[in-house]
Amino acid sequence: MPSLVYAVVTDAPIHISELSQLVTDPRTGAIVTFSGDVRNHDGGKQVASLSYEIHPSAAQQIELIAKEVIKDFDIEKAAVAHRYGDIAIGETAFAVAVSAAHRQGAFDACAAIVNAVKEKLPIWKYQKFADGSDEWVNCA
CATH of the domain at 66: 3.90.1170.40
- Left, alpha or beta for 16 (phi > 0: left; psi -120 to 50: alpha)? alpha
Where in the sequence is the domain holding 113, given as residue range(s)? 3-137
- What pLDDT digit, counting tens, does each position of 15-29 carry? 999 999 999 999 999
DSSP-derived letter for residue 13 is -
pLDDT band at 139 (very low <50, low <70, confident <90, very high): low
pLDDT band at 74 (very low <50, low <70, confident <90, very high): very high
pLDDT at 140 over 70: no
Mean pLDDT of 102-115: 97
Mean pLDDT of 61-72: 98
pLDDT band at 1 (very low <50, low <70, confident <90, very high): confident
pLDDT at 104 over 60: yes
Number of domains comprising the chain: 1
User: Could you give the dihedral angle defined by the CA atoms of residues 7, 13, 15 and 18, in that order, rounded to the nearest 10 degrees?
Assistant: -60
Q: Which of 121, 65, 73 is nearest to 93 (CA)?
A: 121
pTM to 2 decimal places = 0.95
Mean pLDDT of 58-67: 98
Measure Cα distances from 60 to 49, 64, 100 in Å: 27, 6, 25
pLDDT band at 51 (very low <50, low <70, confident <90, very high): very high
- What pLDDT digit, counting tens, does each position of 77-98 carry? 999 999 999 999 999 999 999 9
